[in-house]
Amino acid sequence: MKLTKMSLALAGLMAVAIPLATAQQINAAGASFPAVIYQKWFEEYRKMHTDVQINYQSIGSGGGIAQLTAGTVDFGASDMPMTDEQISKVTVKPLHFPSVLGGVVPTYNIAGVMQDLKFTPETLSGIFLGAITKWNDPRLAKDNPGVKFPNADIQVVHRSDGSGTTFVWTDYLSKVSPDWKSKVGVGASVNWPVGLGGKGNEGVAGTVKQTPNSIGYVELIYVVQNKMAYGSVKNASGSFVKADFNTVTDAAAAAAKNMPDDFRVSITNAAGKNAYPISSFTWLLIPSHIPDAAKAKTIKAFLQWMLADGQKYAAGLSYASLPKEVIAKEVKQIAKIQ
Amino acid sequence: MATPAVADTTVIGRRTTQTGDIVARLITFAFAASIILITFLLVWQLWSQSAPTRHKFGFAFLFTSTWNPVTEEFGALPFVYGTVVTSILALLISVPLGLGSAIFLSELAPAGISNALTFLIELLAAIPSVIYGLLALFTLVPLMRDYGEPFLKSTLGFLPWFKGPVYGLSLLTAGMVLSIMTIPFIISVSREALLAVPREQREAALALGATRWESTWQIVVPYAKLGILGSIFLGLARALGETMAVTMVIGNDPKIKASLFAPGYSIAAVIANEFSEATGKVYQSALIELGIVLFLLTIIINGVARLMIIATTKKGSKR
Amino acid sequence: MSGNLIWRKSVNAVMLSVTGVFTVLAVSSLFLILGYLVYYGGRSLDWNFFTKLPLPPGEIGGGMANAIVGSLKIVGVAALMGLPFGFLAGIYLSEFEDKMFCPLVRYVADLLNGIPSIVVGLLAWGLVVVPTRSFSGLAGSIALAAMLIPIVTRQTEQFLREVPLSLREAALALGASKWKTIATVVVPAGSKGILTGMILGVARIAGESAPLLFTAFNNQFWGGGITQPTASLPVMIYSHAIAPYEDWHRQAWAAGLVLIGMVLIANIAARLVLARGISVPRA
């Protein structure tokens, strides 16, 4: 009796498992910065090609690079270009494919403050260094006349995991603040002087949303989707710019013309009157040699789609699409995948 | 006649089924031995995978407080600090509550109610850690941030433990969640230890004119103290290894600060958060070495706990 | 003299009532936890939750169908591996006494039982994920099985030991061999307790999240089977709870309710089975 019941159950499980096993499974992991548009892309792609499931897990750029190096995923994703040292550790050389542009914004949750705040390199680095500790500090008031700041401690929120978003943020701060550069520096995971750690862009946004008088840094889509307040930042030309499709695209303009062959650039603190200073490309890290021919074919097809139709989703999700010159160059790189 | 026939088949039967016995013994032995194999594999894995950091830092690893993946400087101190502090906080709350409840359940409550209530309390131990985390994140953290911690700050703010900004996500909140998770262990085992105290002890005290409470507190509890201590160590061992509930409310900041309102980090939480993204052999092995530290801590404490509990049951059965 | 007595009597009354209050607090925390889950989880449960896949962040209407099936798969495979393992090991410890070996196995089993689940996850990662270069539900199952085995072993041994010696001797006197005695007399006699241990063990591992984080990983889709990354309820609860989306929080509550429902039903059922089972006094 028991035996027949068990075998029936097993048969049931098989029945569910086998048809699904014929769908092509591709595993990827990495940055949370572009995770929102990636999930959208992979979902849309699956609707068009029902036998392809690209499973993307948002574990941070550090995770994307680590898992790509360990070989546990078919491709990775990162907002931080891999260093030469990191590339040398991967058995199959990875190719960088910029997928989309985005901006990292300072988001805050301050009691009684509904307006958009203006931040300068001095105030941002001061806050994250722990030099500016209260919201009603005169340095903040100077840039934001008319705003009623509470007399409250600033709760800083940063990333607890290895993050490309952190890389972009600290890259910007290192360029504009010599103090920051010497005390903390650039990296995916730095020794933060102050603050709470949240996991992923999702975790930082979640923590800022729930913690009064807090400030954090996240990719634009996370504040838009969660209706959170975010400020403008003073760029290299002196104007206070808020991140959006146009200002982020402007930041990439110079790089678009002079894109290196391996696509590894930083566009923080870009020149340009309307450029958003904390913008970045984000990359898919695709191995140059994929042994499974079927997977290689699917990945190449997906990349083609991403560079054409996929870009149309960027604006609606608060990212910016890639410049034409970059797209043209990338299409040529697809051929390099064996 | 029945007996010789039985005797005959018994002789034949025993020979053929002796192989059966040997086979059964071998099979079950293999599985029992595999338990040792699994544990050995675990220890070997931990030891070999943590080699890079062990060679690089040696014992200093345990006493360094930097955790810098960029410069590849790793130290276990902030995590040991967070793990120990949250566990001690948990015990500070759960031991009085747990022992008090155990006394009630063993001395005062009638057997039926005592069993029923103990059953309910033991259900608390079955609730998964991630659900404790879910509840704590959405209910306890706002409560602590908006009411609990400010209250402590205003009344006890002169003490170094209650100074500093209030986030909600903190060592204190993590300690409180852990206390709820350790209570069922303390109650369950202490109650058993108290029940094992011979009746004569209580009766003798009462005969000498002690009140119920005096008899309990001054005679019964000391008699059962080994078992009670054992329950505390058991609860401690559980608290040290808790992962999900802690990582959701502790704030994830690898720093050592005096204030309990500050965010901290525990060994289990950092492994859970950073393992899948540890780039480079040194980073990964640092996390695995932390795993060894946690493993050793829990073995020692569990071992002590079990010794104490065994000692109590032996003592209790001596009449 | 009488003043002292009044003092002692009032201390007595106060302290005894304090213990009662503490007990009420302890028990009520259980009801608070269940209450919150039933309230928030109940409001969030809908048909979508059980039938739909997760949607991209920000879109409403997704569900956790794949996590429910994934959990069933992972726990199912872990049970298939761990239950027979622990059962047979428990038989050895109880029936075949061995002066040096048995205490060693018992000690190691207790050790394994006390190891934090995240460390067991590290073991499965090193043994399965790294060599196969792939996250998989199977690696998760192996981690969970490693946690299940010591629980089932000790429970099996305990309940087999409680079967009275007289039953064994009677069987042996009738000419049965040792293994036949075990299989047809001892095990059935202790079956209720053994079954209880198995149910409780499986309920315990079904709620574990930490060992699955870097073994089974996670998956938004159905996945390609147990050798691929597989979604599971506990991991989904974690990732959804720490995210900023209200809809994801809602789903986390629903998942929490489903998970606690399964765990508590298993626990209550197991203990009821046990209560009605053996009437042999505990040794």
Partner A contacted by B280 (CB < 8 A): yes
Indicate whether A18 pLDDT > 60: no
Residue B245: closest CA among A13, C40, C237: C237
CB within 8 Å: C220 and A55 = yes
How does pLDDT run across B258-301, given as a tens digit for each residue? 899 999 999 999 999 888 888 778 888 999 999 999 999 999 99
Q: How far apart are CA A165 and CA A151, in angstroms?
A: 30
Please say if the pLDDT value at position B58 is more than 80. yes
Say whether pLDDT at A12 is over 60. Answer: no
Residues A272-293 have a mean pLDDT of 92
- Enclosing H/E stretch for A63: helix A61-70
Chain C residues 39-58 with a CB less than 8 Å from chain B: 40
Compare CB distances from A189 to B70, B165, B284 and report the shortest one's residue. B70
* Average confidence (pLDDT) over A187-196: 85
A304 touches chain C (CB under 8 A): no
**How close, in Å, is residue C38 to chain A by CA atoms?**
23
E strands within chain A?
24-30, 52-58, 75-78, 94-109, 118-119, 155-159, 196-198, 214-219, 229-230, 232-234, 240-241, 279-287
CB B311 within 8 A of CB B243: no
Q: Across residues B222-249, what is the average pLDDT?
A: 91
Q: How far apart are CA C125 and CA C255, in angstroms?
A: 26
Residue of C22, C239, C250 to mutate for B, most B C-beta atoms under 10 A: C22
Chains that touch C (3 or more CB pairs under 8 A): A, B
Contact C122 B9 (CB under 8 A): no
Residue of B nearest to A188 (CA): B70
Q: Which of C31, C108, C118, C144 to mutate to test the interface with B (most CBs of B within 10 A)?
A: C118
Q: For residue A5, is pLDDT > 80? A: no
Residue of B nearest to C86 (CA): B31
Selected residue with higher pLDDT from B201 and B10? B201
Give the one of C108, C149, C209 whose C-beta lies nearest to B128's C-beta.
C209
- Banded pLDDT at A3 (limits 50, 70, 90): low
Average pLDDT over residues B214-241: 90
CB contact under 8 A, B31 and C85: yes
How many C-beta atoms lie closer than 10 Å to residue A146's C-beta?
A: 6
Q: Quick check: B294 and C119 CB within 8 A?
A: yes
pLDDT band at A6 (very low <50, low <70, confident <90, very high): low
- Residues of chain A in contact with residue C239, where contact means CB-CB under 8 angstroms, are 202
pLDDT at C277: 53
What pLDDT, on the 0 to 100 scale, is given for residue C281? 39
Is the predicted pLDDT of residue A250 greater than 70, yes or no?
yes
Query: Which one has a higher pLDDT value, B4 or C19?
Result: C19
* Residue stretches of chain C with pLDDT short of 70: 1-2, 276-283
pLDDT of B283 reads 87
Contact A72 C133 (CB under 8 A): yes
Q: Does B107 touch chain A (CB under 8 A)?
A: no
Question: What's the pLDDT band for B319 if we cut at 50, 70, 90?
Answer: very low
Res. A14 pLDDT band, cuts 50 70 90: low
pLDDT band with cut points at 50, 70 and 90 for residue B166: confident
CA closest to A16 among chain C residues: C225
- Looking at residue B1, its pLDDT comes to 42
Chain A contact set for C134 (CB, 8 A): 27, 72
**Min Cα separation A211/chain B (Å):** 7
Residue A21 is nearest to which of C57, C133, C225, comparing CB atoms? C225
Judged by CB atoms closer than 8 Å, whether chains meet at C9 and B295 is answered as no
Mean pLDDT, rounded, of chain B: 87
Confidence of residue B186 (pLDDT cuts 50, 70, 90): very high
Q: How far apart are the C-alpha atoms of A96 and C237, rounded to whole Å?
A: 33
- Residue A299 predicted with pLDDT over 90: yes
Listed range (A14-23, B121-130, C69-78) with the worst mean pLDDT: A14-23
The per-residue pLDDT for B209 is 87
Q: Do C12 and B237 touch (CB under 8 A)?
A: no
pLDDT at B8 over 50: no
Closest-CA distance, B58 to chain A, in angstroms, reads: 22
Interface of C with B in 173-202 (CB under 8 A): 175, 177-180, 182, 200
pTM (2 decimals)? 0.88
Alpha helices in chain B (DSSP H): 2-49, 51-57, 77-103, 111-126, 129-135, 141-143, 149-156, 171-195, 199-207, 212-215, 221-223, 225-241, 244-249, 267-274, 281-317
Chain B residue closest in CA terms to A63: B277
Stretch (H or E) spanning C147: helix C137-161
For residue B1, the tally of other CB atoms under 10 A from its CB is 5
Q: Does B105 score more than 90 pLDDT?
A: yes
> For position C245, what pLDDT does the model report?
85
Contact A237, A277 (CB under 8 A): no
Q: Quick check: B25 contacting C, CB < 8 Å? A: yes
Asked if B277 lies within 8 A of A60 by C-beta distance, the reply is yes
Predicted confidence (pLDDT) at residue A162 exceeds the cutoff of 90: no
pLDDT at position A300: 94
The complex's ipTM?
0.89
